[in-house]
Structure 1
Amino acid sequence: SLKMIANAPEEAKMMVRRRMAKDNNCLFHSVGYLAEGRQGSICSELRAAVAEHVAHDPAIDEVLLGTNVQEYCQWIKNEMNWGGETEIYILAKKYNLEIIVVMMAEKSTVLTYGGENRAGRIYILYTGQHYDALVGVKEEDDLPEAETRIFPAGEEKFDELAIKAGDFCYQEELKRKSVQLKKMLKCLGCNAILRDTEEFQKHCNEVEHDDDFMYECDEVEVECQSANEDEMTEKYHIFYNTDSDPLSNYFLCELNVDGQTYKSVEHYIQCVRYAPHVGLVNTIQNAKDAFEVLDIVAQTECGEVSGWDNMKQSVTMKGMRAKFMQNDQAREALLKSGKKDILLVGGGTWNGVQVEGEEIIGRNVVGRALKDLREEVEKR
């Protein structure tokens, strides 16, 4: 059965955006993260679950799918294809949840998927092109283990927090996507937009036009989005906390630290954090993945090891060093980041950063540690 994650939802004072990877799986990342605390590999599982549901639900027909059932099932399993309204409807049934989609706008609105008597409700943000998860927090920089991902079913009072989050995200997107007007040339033969006369002349020589084309063009103003995001990817190597990214501490790869074996860096970190509690440590070590570890930690009432705040950075570094020194796949991924600074986006403002407009907010402890480790690996 589904459970409320981390703090009681009544304590959530705001909702914040947890950014999901832009890899055509953003809907599945978002729902998987909110419903199960998982990202990455869960996407293929959810796509398969949607296909299985469609194949056996007589209420879903070709009119709804826009194609026949067999073709749809093949289509949705292809991770290059986006999920949308049909998939949200099916995932709401799979998890027995209300899925509230916040349509990001100047005045955001919400759409509710899922009927009565559901086990809970989750919120996802839709920008028009991309889905991200919305979670409840008491403070904006709360770590994932202190967030609320599943809210009580039917509690529409949380819609207000979600709408405020949508409005805020919209304003931040406006700042980031400052529109510029550029003067360009429009070919009167085929309406192609060219940057300047040199490009127009080249276009005329290379592109075949009608016989009556007189090599004429008009000057037009074109809206161009600022290239902030492109500039970021040129300057930084960006990654997200998914179990499919070798740079993430959630990535499943066996590592040995001080004679003990762990399934991921996150397993190791949390075992050290709760070292005085042997039973809890054993439970963490046996957790199937890092997302299950976070759920275990979120529910525990056990206290942390003395001085944890002062030691967690060195513990994180020790676990990461073990991973990259012992795992070829992780090491190769780290070296592929080249000479760029590394940013963990959406992992909280201690581990990673939040990107608000042109401003990068956060300590990026994991990203900076990765850069240091890359130098160590290169010297080997």
Structure 2
Amino acid sequence: MRLKIKRSNEQRLITLPDGATVSDLLNEIGSASINIKVGFPPQTIDISDTSKLLTDSGIKNGEMIIVTDTIETEVPVNKNEVAIATVSNQNDAPYVQIDDIFLVLRKIPDDNSCFFNSVGYCIFGPDSIKYPDSQQELRQAVANVIRENNQGIYNSAILGGKSITEYSQWIQSSNSWGGAIEAQILAEYLDISIWTVDIESLQVYKFNDEMASRFCVIMYSGIHYDAMALKLDTSLDEEDSQICVFDKFSELGTLIEDNVLKLTNHLKNQGYYTNTSTFILQCQICLATLQGEKEANSHAKKTGHTNFGEVN
């Protein structure tokens, strides 16, 4: 049995006997204080019975095992003590401090896959952005849903003038940006609510919120997405001991909902957003200079070019 282990600090292949048990897997991973998820969307595997066969636990040959370290989530907080500040460190991570914990912006690379990488960062962990297969899995999931179109939702009007076939092919390109369509599809597919927060307008858009009990938060600057994390200690430049997925009905879930706009306001005051009607873009393929999202969309439709960079 060959399995792929995916953890915040590693990604590797392991080989276990066909009759391997949960205990064998834990011994190979080297830790007991963990959660294990498999499949897509990822489902938590019960590892309490260590004598149980992996195959009986739902783990098949070739599976990717997503491993997260167990951390304490019931953190006592004083919601009335809120301070806003920036921190100078290697990530220059803006944050909001709430008593002894922090809401932190986790900057995602600007590579046309920032939406998918932001979602992947929250769901699969920080190291997911290092591996192109992570965001490609999410793109493929979107393409599959659109191609199947089982509920008859998608047509050329919804898909920006593209046919179902064209859009399902287009979204699999690493140069294609994700947005509201992808947020709704992935939220349903991953059984989670994805909150996208528009920094300029201070609006929070909640996808699949009525159906899901968990949520994650990604921040939208107008042309870029970043992830948001809750950090449980002051080493803000380190990405351990943080939470990116929250139970809506938990104390921490309420804490995030009550304070996410404080971080958003802070980012807006720092100018961490772009007005998409006035910004200047350059096509990275033909070097045409374009003003605003409208001209960029028109250029993309005429030429098929979708790789743009902002001109400072």
Preserved contact between residue 98 and residue 121 of structure 1 (Cα < 8 Å) = yes
Shift of 1:4: 9.4
Structure 1 residues 174 and 153, CA, compared in 2 at 3 Å: closer, same or farther? closer
Preserved contact between residue 221 and residue 273 of structure 2 (Cα < 8 Å) = no
Preserved contact between residue 119 and residue 152 of structure 1 (Cα < 8 Å) = yes
Preserved contact between residue 112 and residue 174 of structure 2 (Cα < 8 Å) = yes
Query: Which position in structure 2 is the counterpart of 1:69?
Result: 164
Query: Which position in structure 2 is the counterpart of 1:166?
Result: 264
Shift of 1:9: 6.0
* Structure 2 counterparts to residues 1-380 of structure 1, below 5 A: 1=43, 6-8=71-73, 10=75, 13-37=101-125, 38-39=128-129, 40-41=131-132, 42-59=134-151, 60-62=153-155, 63-66=157-160, 67-105=162-200, 108-142=202-236, 143-153=238-248, 155-173=253-271
d(CA) in 2 for partners of 1:161, 1:102: 12
Structure 1 residues 125 and 114, CA, compared in 2 at 3 Å: closer, same or farther? same
Preserved contact between residue 14 and residue 161 of structure 1 (Cα < 8 Å) = no
Larger radius of gyration: 1
Structure 1 residues 18 and 54, CA, compared in 2 at 3 Å: closer, same or farther? same
Preserved contact between residue 100 and residue 121 of structure 1 (Cα < 8 Å) = yes
Structure 1 residues 132 and 29, CA, compared in 2 at 3 Å: closer, same or farther? same
Shift of 1:100: 0.8
Preserved contact between residue 97 and residue 153 of structure 1 (Cα < 8 Å) = no
d(CA) in 2 for partners of 1:77, 1:171: 35
Letter in 1 for 2:176: N
Structure 1 residues 5 and 35, CA, compared in 2 at 3 Å: closer, same or farther? farther
1:145 alignment partner, SS class? coil
Shift of 1:44: 1.2
Preserved contact between residue 104 and residue 170 of structure 1 (Cα < 8 Å) = yes
d(CA) in 2 for partners of 1:175, 1:78: 25
Letter in 2 for 1:52: N
Q: TM-score, normalised by structure 1?
A: 0.43
Letter in 1 for 2:149: D
Preserved contact between residue 92 and residue 98 of structure 1 (Cα < 8 Å) = yes
Structure 1 residues 5 and 95, CA, compared in 2 at 3 Å: closer, same or farther? farther
Structure 2: any 5+ residue segments left out of the alignment?
1-42, 45-67, 77-97, 276-309
Shift of 1:5: 6.6
Structure number having the greater helix percentage: 1
Shift of 1:170: 1.7
Structure 1 residues 126 and 174, CA, compared in 2 at 3 Å: closer, same or farther? closer
Residues 188-247 of structure 1 deviation map (CA, whole Å, 9 limit, x = unaligned):
xxxxxxxxxxxxxxxxxxxxxxxxxxxxxxxxxxxxx995xxxxxxxxxxxxxxxxxxxx
Structure 1: any 5+ residue segments left out of the alignment?
178-224, 228-380
Identity percentage over the alignment? Answer: 25
- Cα RMSD of the aligned pairs, angstroms, is 2.9
Structure 1 residues 125 and 69, CA, compared in 2 at 3 Å: closer, same or farther? same
